[in-house]
Amino acid sequence: MDKPSIGFIGLGHMGLPMASNLVKAGYELTVYDIVEEKIEPLVKMGAARGTSCQEVADKSKVTITIVPDSPDVEAAVLGEGGVIHGASKGHVLIEMSTIAPGVGRLVAAALAEKGVPMLDCPVSGGPPGAEAGTLSIMAGGPKDTFDECLPILEVMGGSIVHFGENGSGYTAKLCNQVACVITIQAVCETLSLAAKAGLDLRKVLEVVGSGLAASRIMELHGPKMLERDYAPGFALALQEKDLRLVAAAADELEMPLPATALVHQLIRSLSAKGKGELGTQALVLAMEGLAECEVKA
């Protein structure tokens, strides 16, 4: 496929920078979001304004979706005015949200009946990775479609791995979330212990972040925790959604994920206090509550 026209649906924290990179790479884009003002920045960059998911698919050869949750993907793809009604045989859907693998398989099956292959391509790397075009992309779906779409994925991603049939990309993303949340909690506990002990938190981050415990999460979220900057790159509400999906996957496999379950409950305690719209770095507030300390530099 030589630079096909692309429809892009969902222009939030991730979608906006991902779509921007595709425009910069010379792709012709038609963009859509249910929140009208989110479309403006891309129209200013030269993308065409879409008015529905159906119209976006109708005008494009490939459609990309990145919306919050499973019901949003079902609405955007299968609902009234959805992608399925605008996509004709040979169209491709690259679905990049983090959703339930089972829902992804159902959406892929409905599209396949119309001769429209789907790739599940959830991502990791957050808004910084989206801006840099270095996201990790975990793909599932027909291998020939994956190979065909690789040049598009390479504009948005650095590490791009195909796992197998539809659903396997979503499952790989759930594995990724296990590592992410436990690491965030590790940073929260490290800084809480240091705060309670009266250590200089910036020095702790500097030295711990240069040793064996160094991680991208510590590098990215540690300073924000110390500055009490809880603006969302990835909202706690979305993280909680991911952990619901992880728990369902573990239930299906009848396996324990003890550390992940603990972090899930801590995130839920923050949601119950109305803090779900804060970024995941705000998990440190749960530790502050438990340990009666203030993580601040």
CA 173 from chain centre, in angstroms, equals 9
> Is 296 a catalytic site residue?
no
Question: Shortest CA distance to 161 belongs to which of 134, 141, 139?
Answer: 139
Q: Residue 79 or residue 291: which is nearer to ligand NAD going by CB?
A: 79
What CA–CA distances, in Å, run from 83 to 11, 72, 73, 107, 112?
A: 16, 12, 10, 11, 13
Annotated catalytic residue, options 173, 203, 241, 275: 173
Name the residue with the smallest CB distance to ligand NAD. 12
The contacts of residue 9 (CB under 8 Å, 6+ apart) are 15, 31, 32, 33, 50, 53, 56, 63, 64, 65, 66, 67, 76, 83
Task: In angstroms, give the least distance from the CB of 290 to ligand NAD.
Answer: 25
Task: In angstroms, give the least distance from the CB of 158 to ligand NAD.
Answer: 14
Kindly report the number of other CB atoms within 10 A of residue 123's CB atom. Answer: 24
Give me 266's structure tokens.
């801590």
What pairing do the DSSP bridges indicate for beta strands 92-95 and 118-120?
A: parallel
Q: Residue 138 or residue 204: which is nearer to ligand NAD going by CB?
A: 138
Q: Residue 155 or residue 193: which is nearer to ligand NAD going by CB?
A: 155
Task: In angstroms, give the least distance from the CB of 73 to ligand NAD.
Answer: 8
Amino acid symbol at 202: R
Kindly report the number of other CB atoms within 10 A of residue 54's CB atom. Answer: 21
Q: For residue 235, what is the DSSP state?
A: B
| Beta-bridge mates of residue 8 | 31, 64
Task: In angstroms, give the least distance from the CB of 174 to ligand NAD.
Answer: 11
Q: Residue 38 or residue 228: which is nearer to ligand NAD going by CB?
A: 38
Q: Residue 9 or residue 208: which is nearer to ligand NAD going by CB?
A: 9
Task: In angstroms, give the least distance from the CB of 157 to ligand NAD.
Answer: 12
Q: Residue 11 or residue 208: which is nearer to ligand NAD going by CB?
A: 11
Q: For residue 25, what is the DSSP state?
A: T
The contacts of residue 7 (CB under 8 Å, 6+ apart) are 29, 30, 31, 32, 50, 56, 57, 59, 60, 62, 63, 64, 83
Task: In angstroms, give the least distance from the CB of 251 to ligand NAD.
Answer: 20
Binding site for ligand NAD (CB under 6 A): 9-15, 32-35, 38, 53, 66-68, 72, 75-76, 97-98, 123-124, 126-127, 233-234, 238, 242
Q: Which residues are catalytic?
A: 173
